[in-house]
Structure 1
């Protein structure tokens, strides 16, 4: 039912939330030897989700390991500046999608109240 009410935006919000978690884990492990930074190919995850996959499967299928520009000697592939930038961009997109969904909920609520 949420697909008909929110269209692609409900799925996008769910996927962006999971991507925020993955980017947060990368940032938290910036000093962990051997940690491999991961990210979600958002377009691939959204396409999978739109084709009927659940959010976890869509994210799992679209998860990619980052290839560092400057590999570290300890095997960690987190490049903090890149992770912070990706996090900020995703947070802005999450906020925009959330605003759209909130607007849709408000419209439905007003319609149900007969306003």
Structure 2
């Protein structure tokens, strides 16, 4: 029974986690808007979610003999800790100092991502309320 509930909520759990990660990346871009040679980064949300769903579909226990058997993020910063690839944002108009952060784009992406995160939280809350109503038999 618990496995069915977990499967029912897994998509939203993964989506909210990726939205949170993306918000951190976008916040980093905004924070580095005045840093010379900083390149704006982002994640491809759709492909990252598809990869996360594919990875969770592979169930089973992992047996390891050494603690370093688990994959770690690339040392060059090209991926996040969960393996999500960090991509460089396309440059619309670069700055003289080599910085590629466009504050209008970043603020727009930040607000859009925050809105989608809030919508996801609202949706998962309604799912949980519906499950609780079904469990209580009301």
TM-score by length of 1: 0.86
Which residue is 2:74 aligned to?
none
SS in 2 for 1:72: coil
Which residue is 1:40 aligned to?
43
CA 1:83 to 1:69, structure 2 compared with 1: closer, same or farther past 3 Å?
same
Q: 1:76 aligns with which of 99, 108, 111?
A: 99
Asked if the contact 1:49–1:58 (Cα under 8 Å) also holds between the matched residues in 2, the reply is no
Moved more, 98-107 or 18-27: 98-107
Asked if the contact 1:24–1:87 (Cα under 8 Å) also holds between the matched residues in 2, the reply is yes
Paired residue total: 112
Alignment of 1:5-84 (within 5 A): 5-52=8-55, 56-59=81-84, 61=85, 63-84=86-107
Which residue is 1:102 aligned to?
125
**Aligned-pair distance for 1:67?**
2.1
Q: 1:91 aligns with which of 114, 121, 135?
A: 114
**Aligned-pair distance for 1:56?**
4.1
RMSD: 1.9
Structure 2 regions of 5+ residues with no counterpart? Answer: 57-79
Asked if the contact 1:20–1:91 (Cα under 8 Å) also holds between the matched residues in 2, the reply is yes
Residue by residue, what CA displacement relative to the aligned partner does 1:42-68 show, whole Å, maximum 9, x if unpaired? 011011101116x94352x2x210121
